[in-house]
Amino acid sequence: MRFACDRSNCKSRRGSLASATLSAIARLTIIHRAILTSLLTARLVRRETHCANRGCQDRKQDFDVILHNQPSPATIAKASQKDRTRSEALALQRFVRQFVVEMPKTFFITTAIDYTNSPPHIGHAYEKVLADVIARYHRLKGDNVFFLTGVDQHGQKVQQSAAKAGVPPAEFVKEITQKFVDLWKKLDVQYDEWAETTNERHKKVVQGILQRLFDAGQIYKDKQAGHYSIRQEQFLTDKERGPDGEFGPEWGQIEFREEENYYFKLSQHKDWLLRYLDDRKDAVIPDFRQTELRNAVEKLSGDLCISRPKSRLDWGIELPFDKNFVNYVWFDALTNYISFAGYDPKPDNYEKQPQEFRDRWSKDTLQIIGKDILVPAHGIYWLIMLHAIGFPNEAMPQLLVHGWWNLGGAKMSKSAGNVIDPFVFADKYGAEAVRYYLVSDIATGRDSDFSEERLVQRYNADLANNFGNLLNRTLNMVHRYCKGRLARPRETRKFPTDVIDGYKQLVAEYTAVTAPVRPDVLIERSLYLASVFNGLIEAKSPWTLAKSSKPEDREFLEDLLYDCAESLRILALLVSPILPKAAQGIFDQLNWKMELSGKEERFSLADAEWGRLPDGHVVGKGVPLFPRIDIGDGV
């Protein structure tokens, strides 16, 4: 798999910009400095307000620290002229660093928004957990993350389900939406913004875009005549005919119909899309999905119907240029990705968009979708929509297409009655067990078969017997043989360093841009290292070493236990995107406090440097983090 972004370049450009800016500050007059200070303060306060509104507590604390660290006017007044100038310069430098050097680049990640016609199933859970894990990997690496997810509340399916339930659509979607919100809370999916397509601001953005495209002649009215399925509420083409040339029973009653609708000039952009896909080889990951999309675009013909007369569907966003129609339906759903990220529908190009939006949206924006909505929805409609409303090629997002969880090799579907309810499994085995299973037992991009038995097997083997066991036995032995105190290994240590090299290599791999999209690989590599340490414990039997009176045995025992504890500290960091609660638990049990780390974030990859547990560090007591699941317990 490849990944488009080249963050190292961005960072180095930012670095040189920073030193140029800092030396320019030294040459500023007092008045210039005052102006710059107030401008930067205003920007800082804006960001602070933004974070306070969104409840980003971590960032809010950062701002408090920065603001409080500014010298007070009283302190400056008391200082001598020389000190005053110096402290002002330092305060300015701190401000500038905050924005130019230390303000990490925003990594914008989105997921598909789920239909609110029925409660969430395990496929929805997988996609959101995958996105959450990728978002957490980026946070671990120090990126500023903006993670957007939400629900798709309009359309025919919802209108029909609400009618069936005998409640108004607005009430129906509210109830189902709550189930999604509850599930993300239960599964610890930590998003920054929540999209609901009935939101008024979103509606305004959709209407603004439609109006602009209409004014630009990209949307026109036309009459369609043909076979129409009453059950599925759609026109049928020859593609829907079976091998016998007839429409199958799934379409129900068919009638001939004529209907006026609005169309978007999709096919006019076909050549552009082909060129774009040829120029950007990782527009879609994995590779084979890009090939699939390219082939579909080759066959593209005809335009996209974007409306339904209100007489047959009124649960949607009204067309701004014709109140007898609502939008149907992809324009509404797809626009969520920008409407909830600060997009302004008025400016007709990307460069004129608000800074807040441009800070988030770039070619590195990662959009996670399932394989069924690549062609045509995201790969064709969405990319063409963005192009038509003025996004340059350099601001086209990257699509990460995941596979599906099936059941017994078959697609899950409500009608087949084989839908897996994620709440049931989260209640039975805990959120972390579900998160672990969902991202570790599927290779990103491929399908997998959901099996409760396998979930339990993997949990017991990987988490209870391997990882959890390493934690328990390490802490118990440190208490039993070393009074709970770790001794930092001496330079002359005899312990094999290749295991430690394995950690260093794994940490280095985490910084590769491709890494986060393959959490299945990262977790496997991490837990393999835990098994290496378990193997070492077996091979070196610390319980025998503890009985020996030889000083070298004692030294070896202390080194081994230190390394076990250190490996657990680093493993906690590396698995924290998938198992955030367990990682917290390991830190607590190891007694690894924020003060020791010296970092603002509890989980930071910069802390994964080998040997940071101090000499004499006292560890806490071991409490099983992954109690074994008894196979007899109803599996």
Which residues of this protein are in contact with ligand ME8, per CB under 6 A? 112-115, 123-124, 126-127, 152, 333-334, 369-370, 372-373, 404-405, 412
Closer Cβ to ligand ME8, 372 or 524, answer by number:
372
Closer Cβ to ligand ME8, 124 or 141, answer by number:
124
Beta bridge partners of 259: 224
Closer Cβ to ligand ME8, 115 or 262, answer by number:
115
Minimum distance of ligand ME8 from residue 112's CB (angstroms): 3
Minimum distance of ligand ME8 from residue 500's CB (angstroms): 38
Closer Cβ to ligand ME8, 337 or 626, answer by number:
337
92, 113 Cβ separation under 8 angstroms: no
Minimum distance of ligand ME8 from residue 85's CB (angstroms): 54
| Size (the chain), residues | 635
Closer Cβ to ligand ME8, 400 or 583, answer by number:
400
Cis peptide bond upstream of 120, omega within 30: no
Closer Cβ to ligand ME8, 115 or 556, answer by number:
115
Closer Cβ to ligand ME8, 396 or 629, answer by number:
396
DSSP structure string for 437-460:
HHHHSS-TTS-EE--HHHHHHHII
Residue type for position 563: D
The token pair at 479 is 């208490």
Query: What sign has the CA pseudo-torsion 338, 276, 266, 292?
Result: negative
Minimum distance of ligand ME8 from residue 485's CB (angstroms): 48
Residue type for position 396: M
How far is residue 332's CA from residue 357's CA, in Å, rounded to a whole number? 19
Minimum distance of ligand ME8 from residue 197's CB (angstroms): 9
Minimum distance of ligand ME8 from residue 369's CB (angstroms): 5
Give the DSSP H/E element, type plus range, for residue 12. helix 7-26
Residue with tokens 């130019």: 100
Closer Cβ to ligand ME8, 114 or 364, answer by number:
114
536, 560 Cβ separation under 8 angstroms: yes
Torsion of the alpha carbons at 569, 570, 573 and 574, rounded to the nearest 10: -140
Minimum distance of ligand ME8 from residue 150's CB (angstroms): 9
Minimum distance of ligand ME8 from residue 25's CB (angstroms): 45
Minimum distance of ligand ME8 from residue 252's CB (angstroms): 21
Nearest to 386 by CA among 154, 218, 204: 218
How far is residue 471's CA from residue 605's CA, in Å, rounded to a whole number? 20
Closer Cβ to ligand ME8, 177 or 474, answer by number:
177
Query: Residue 141 region, left (φ>0) first, then alpha (ψ -120 to 50), else beta?
Result: alpha
Beta bridge partners of 284: 399
Minimum distance of ligand ME8 from residue 203's CB (angstroms): 15
State the Rg of the chain over Cα: 28
Q: What's the distance, Cα to Cα, between the start and end of the chain in Å?
A: 36
Q: What is the DSSP letter of 332?
A: H
Give the DSSP H/E element, type plus range, for residue 88. helix 81-96
Query: Residue 262 region, left (φ>0) first, then alpha (ψ -120 to 50), else beta?
Result: beta
Closer Cβ to ligand ME8, 95 or 405, answer by number:
405
Minimum distance of ligand ME8 from residue 384's CB (angstroms): 14
DSSP structure string for 291-321:
HHHHHHHHT--S-EE-EEETTT--SSPEETT
The token pair at 297 is 């675009």
Closer Cβ to ligand ME8, 129 or 140, answer by number:
129
Minimum distance of ligand ME8 from residue 123's CB (angstroms): 2
Closer Cβ to ligand ME8, 105 or 121, answer by number:
121
Burial class (CB in 10 A: 0-12, 13-18, 19+), 258: exposed
469, 534 Cβ separation under 8 angstroms: yes
In the complex, residue closest to ligand ME8 by CB: 370
